[in-house]
Amino acid sequence: MLHNINFELKQGEIHAVVGENGAGKSTLVKIIAGLVPVDAGQVVFESTDRTFANIREIQNSGVALIHQEPRLFPDLTVLENVSVDRQVKEDKKKRFSWSAAEEETRRLLDDLGCSFSVHSPVKALSVADQQMVDMVSALRKRLKLLIVDEPTASLTPTEVDRLFITLRKLNAQGVTIIFIGHRLEEVLEISDRITILKDGELVTVKSKSETNEDELIRLMVGRNIDGTSEGKEIGKGGVVLRVENLISPGFVADVSFEVNRGEILGIGGLVGAGRSELLETIFGLRKRTGGRVVLNQGEEITTVHQAIDAKVALVPEDRAHNGLALNRSINENLVITNLSLTSRRSWRNFKRERVLGGELIEKFRVKLSFASQLVRELSGGNQQKVSLAKWLKRNVDILLIDEPSRGVDVGSKFEIHHFLKDSARNGMSVVMVSSDMRELIELSHRILVMRNGHVAGILTGSEVSEEAVLRLASGLTTSGKTR
Amino acid sequence: MAKNSISGVSVLLKKREFGIFIFIVLLLVIFGSLEPRFFRADNLNAILSSVGILMVVGAGQTLVIVTRNIDLSVGSTLGFSAMVMGMVARENPDFPLVGLILIALVAGGVCGLINGLLVSYGKIPSIIATLGTLAIFRGAVFLVSDNVQIDPNDVPQAVINLATTSPIRISWLLIFAIVSILLVHYISSKTLLGKRIYAIGSNPEGAVSRGLSFDRITILVFVSVGVLAGLGGVLYTARYATINPADVGRGLEFDVISAVVIGGTNIFGGSGTAFGTALGCILIGVLSNGLTVVGVSPFWKACATGLLILAAVAIDNFVRRKQEERFLLEIRNQRTAE
């Protein structure tokens, strides 16, 4: 995965690591955290050789890694999750007590600006809140080195601000931080120095003051990406999807909107506003108690089967659980939605499957070792490409896509965006949930902003701006009062 | 902790166990009305004794299942411990009671340790490992005993007294059962160790990345269930006063695992309570005794037991799903209301 990397960390700095997906960022930090063994080379922390130390030793020496996807215990409560790896006697004199732990956890959560109860089971929390719990589990220890692996991927702008304030506060207290990020403006905002990786090799190390976004992108991908998109002509091919007063208790409250042919409708809002649930409800995955989803020919969608038959596709946010069969090959994942194209009657035709798979792999530039490689082994960006590519051949009329570039590198993101814009031009309608403000504004013809399950507003044309979306999403009034 | 948790949680738990409770009451009413003898003191005692043995082993099995494992060998472990203890008692009639109990516990603990090592370091899935030891430990019972049973006059009176004498209105046997359940309840709800046991069942990968000692915890729960099965061997001997190599503890795993699952422990790990298991044991005990007392033929009894177990679990799952949905919804609504 990595070749001959020399990585040096100065005490007290915030050091960002950037690179395309598959560049080896996660592997690098996993080696530092002791989760992945080294074949050759050395890891030295505070002038002691830590190359072969076990996870526990490394954690006890003050190193913590916060994962991309929070790794928590869904059945346990917040407090239990945070406390589970404590020692019974952490200090010589003080024994562990639940009440002290509760007080400490509550204080740490307050510091992060979290309002949920320490006694709620973790499975009842949103991904963003779960990440906060993961963070608190690490903060609890005497921390010297904090590694955060794409912490902002699923956070809303407010939550990112909150996180950065926390990171800076920790940094001021002497904690060294390694920050892995995909959003370069965030990387430039938070870090002191930036290491750029490409294909498992070190490109260079830059200090923040001597670089900018364009240069970073160039160094990462070796090609220029045109961030500002071509002119967006709004598709006016008539309404293809009409959602009327849709209700799914607890998540979606009385939502109505229309989507035109060839239009990309962005859905913005804070994490937990019910955006993913809205897509699921439209697709028939989630139980609804009211409202209708109507297609242009007047047919109604109530079940997943009807949705698929009507050429509606859903690419979910949680690729690992809903979008892909991780333990099957890339080719099988690509073919599974297209079996009707490749099979003769009920028999699979492996040759046709290989051809079709190869075509899709090429089109999306999925980086792989071989087509029968397991999807599990791909990086996040490439997994997302597979999860998108498998719908490509099905002549999808309406694509419901949830966080298309969450945890995806700049290069893949570009290709995914290109695909979405291209498909829309060719008449596909897209309903896209995104927390990435730039993506939302760049891609969408119109933006529907949700708040607490309701439609807070729909922005068109010149109304669209980052600020307008944020205002609607957070319920900000003109006086600037939050929530 | 429970006292300040969201009111929904405690209500949920109460209701969950309430469901099994209602089912037990229903069975009592049906059996009692069909056959008045059912409520006679000696019959109730018989039920309580077999429930007690189930509870001791079930308490341990709960922890094993919480860690995403299962122990199929508990019946053979119980048999092995009882036989070893019985033989020591037969050869040394004056051996002290405490010593005999310790011998049984150690014998059970060794069986559990073997299971634990196979599952943790041997990396054999527990359902296979303990299927193997189910047969091996049973074979060991025949081998050590030479297929000679321990007769009632070889069992010391002190052991039999555990089932018949009552220091505080309930027999020693039941006291052991209740203490086992309370102990497991305490460990699982109040201690860090308990939370780690639930954590490795809830998310094994996460547990590794948090540096929890996966193998040690796995071995520990298997040793615990082994030791408790050893205690079960003592109580079995006290109750039946006979240890037949072929019969002792045979098929116990069926009753114990049924009781744990009926008690609401998730077979896929991560959740479950000792109190739920206790209720599950009572249900199994009442059912098994009641069907015999009302005169259901043994052939039908097996079917009826299976059917009622499935019914209990199905109803319980349904209720639980509904409650969980409502509970999650409640939390979300609280959040959106903020």
pLDDT digits (tens, 9 = 90+) for A426-435: 888 999 998 8
Write out the E strands in A300-445.
Answer: 312-315, 398-402, 429-433
Facing residue for B195 by CB, picked from A67, A76, A115: A76
Dist. CA B266–CA B271, nearest whole Å:
6
Of B190, B211, B271, the CB nearest to A59: B211
A344 inside domain:
no
Examine the domain organization and report whether A203 and A259 are in the same domain.
no
Residue B258: which of B289, B282, B234, B227 has the closest Cα? B282
> Which residues in chain B have Cβ-Cβ distances shorter than 8 Å to A71?
203, 205-206, 209-210
Interior CA angle at A112 toward A107 and A114, to 5°? 85
Q: A11-15, A258-262, A347-351: lowest mean pLDDT where?
A: A347-351
**ipTM > 0.95, yes or no:** no
Do A197 and A117 fall into the same domain?
yes
Nearest CA to CA, how far is B110 from chain A (Å)? Answer: 27
Confidence class of residue A233 from pLDDT cuts 50, 70 and 90?
A: low
Distance of alpha carbon B333 from alpha carbon A18, whole angstroms: 38
Q: Does residue A183 sit in the same domain as residue A257?
A: no
**pLDDT one-digit tens code per residue, A135-185:** 788 777 778 888 888 877 667 777 788 788 888 888 888 889 999 887 778
Determine contact, residues A28/A205, Cβ cutoff 8 Å: no
- Min CA distance, B200 vs chain A (Å)? 8
Rounded to a whole number of angstroms, the distance from the CA of A319 to the nearest CA of chain B is: 18
Residues A63 and A26 in one domain: yes
Closest CA to B275 of B6, B3, B13: B13
Asked if the Cβ–Cβ distance from A98 to B190 is below 8 Å, we say: yes
pTM greater than the 0.95 cutoff: no
In a domain, A56, yes or no: yes
Q: A146: distance to nearest CA of chain B, Å?
A: 14
In A, which residues are within 8 Å of B6 by CB distance? 117, 119-120
Q: Is the model's pLDDT at A232 over the cut of 60?
A: no
Give the residue from A172, A192, A221 where a domain finishes.
A221
- A386: domain CATH number is 3.40.50.300
Please report residues of B whose CB lies closer than 8 A to that of A79. 1
Tokens matching residue A462: 């010149």
Assigned domain for A127 exists: yes
In Å, how far is A144's CA from the nearest CA of chain B?
17
Q: Name the interface residues of A facing B (CB cutoff 8 Å).
A: 35, 54-56, 59, 65, 67, 71-77, 79-81, 83-86, 88, 96, 98, 102, 115-117, 119-121, 123-124, 137, 249-251, 272, 452-453, 483
What is each CA distance from B317 to A123, B18, B66, B311, B321, in whole angstroms? 18, 13, 17, 10, 6
* Of the residues A158, A188, A221, the one at which a domain ends: A221
Q: What is the pLDDT of residues B203-262, one digit of tens each?
A: 888 888 787 888 999 999 999 999 999 999 999 999 999 999 998 999 899 999 999 988
Interface test mutation site (partner B, options A32, A83, A96, A120, max chain B beta carbons within 10 A)? A120
CA nearest A234: which of A440, A442, A461? A461
Do A198 and A273 share a domain, yes or no?
no
Residue A461 CB partners (closer than 8 Å, separation 6+): none
Using a CB-CB cut-off of 8 Å, the residues of chain B touching A80 are: 195, 198-199
Nearest-neighbour CA in chain B from A280: distance (Å)? 16
**Same domain? A166 vs A294:** no
For chain B, give percent helix, strand, coil, nearest 5.
80, 0, 20
Place of tokens 């999925």: A366
Is A229 a residue whose pLDDT tops 50?
no
Structure confidence at residue A35 as a pLDDT band (50, 70, 90) = confident
Instruction: Look up tokens 């904690």; give the residue.
Output: A175
Residues of A in contact with B9 (CB under 8 A): 119, 121
Whole-angstrom distance, CA of residue B197 vs CA of residue B211:
13
Contact at CB, B1 and A55, closer than 8 angstroms: no
Q: Do A74 and B202 touch (CB under 8 A)?
A: yes
Q: Which two tokens stand for residue B151?
A: 């007769």
Q: What pLDDT does residue A475 have?
A: 67
Number of domains comprising chain A: 2
* Mean pLDDT, rounded, of chain A: 80
- A212 and A95 belong to one structural domain: yes
Identify the closest residue of chain B to A483 by CA–CA distance: B338
- Of A142, A170, A165, which Cα lies nearest the Cα of A152? A165
* Residues in chain B within 8 Å Cβ distance of A36: none
Give the nearest chain B residue to A271 (CA atoms).
B336
Whether A120 sits inside 8 A of B331 (CB atoms) is yes
Which residue in A67, A79, A250 is closest to B333 by CB distance? A250
Q: Is residue A368 a part of any domain in this protein?
A: no
Q: Do A55 and B336 touch (CB under 8 A)?
A: no
Task: Let me know if residue A233 belongs to a domain.
Answer: no
Instruction: Establish, for the pair of chains A and B, how many residue pairs have beta carbons separated by less than 8 Å.
Output: 92
Percentage above 70 pLDDT, chain A: 89
Q: What is the mean pLDDT of residues A352-364?
A: 81
User: Given the structure tokens 């089932």, which residue do they identify?
Assistant: B163
For the domain covering B47-315, report its CATH number.
Answer: 1.10.3470
Backbone angles phi, psi at A385, to 5 degrees: -60, -45
Q: Looking at the structure, tell me whether residues A257 and A308 fall in a common domain.
A: yes
Q: With contacts defined as CB-CB under 8 Å, which chain B residues touch A116? A: 335
Q: Which residue has the higher pLDDT, A32 or A3?
A: A32
Residue A225 has pLDDT above 50, yes or no: no
**Inter-chain touch B203–A55, beta carbons under 8 Å:** no
Binned at pLDDT 50, 70 and 90, residue A480 comes out as very low
Å between B247 CA and nearest CA of chain A: 39
Q: Which among B202, B209, B338 has the least Cβ separation from residue A75?
A: B202
Query: How far B183 CA lies from chain A's nearest CA (Å)?
Result: 18
Model pLDDT, residue A88: 63
Collect all residues from B whose CB is shorter than 8 A from any CB in A: 1, 4-6, 9, 190, 192, 195-196, 198-199, 201-203, 205-213, 266, 270-271, 327-329, 331-333, 335-336, 338
Q: How confident is the model at residue A289 (pLDDT cuts 50, 70, 90)?
A: confident
Mean pLDDT of A28-55: 79
Domain assignment present for A129: yes
How distant is the Cα of B118 from the closest Cα of chain A, in angstroms? 23
Q: Which of A224, A167, A423 is nearest to A313 (CA)?
A: A423
Closest CB from A56, A75, A137 relative to B271: A75
Instruction: Provide the pLDDT for residue B15.
Output: 58
Chain B closest-CA separation from residue A392 CA (Å): 34
Q: Residue B105 has what pLDDT?
A: 96
Give contacts of B329 with chain A, Cβ < 8 Å.
249-250
* Cβ–Cβ below 8 Å for A98 and B1: yes
**Contact between chains at B198 and A83 (C-beta distance less than 8 A):** no
pLDDT at A230: 44
Residues A198 and A93 in one domain: yes
- The verdict on a CB contact (< 8 Å) between B335 and A117 is no
Neighbours of B216 (CB within 10 A): 11
Residue spans of chain B under pLDDT 70? 1-16, 327-338
Cβ pair A120:B336 closer than 8 A: no
Considering the domain architecture, whether residues A284 and A216 belong to the same structural domain is answered as: no
Q: What is the pLDDT averaged over residues A209-222?
A: 77
> Minimal Cα–Cα distance from B196 to chain A, Å?
6
- Which of A71, A84, A249 has the CB atom closest to B195's CB atom? A84
Give the pair of three-digit tokens for residue B303: 């079917």
CB contact under 8 A, A124 and B208: no
Q: Which residues of A touch B332 (CB under 8 A)?
A: 124, 250-251
Interface-testing mutation among A31, A73, A81, A321, with chain B (most B C-beta atoms within 10 A): A73
Note down the domain range covering A421: 240-326+374-474
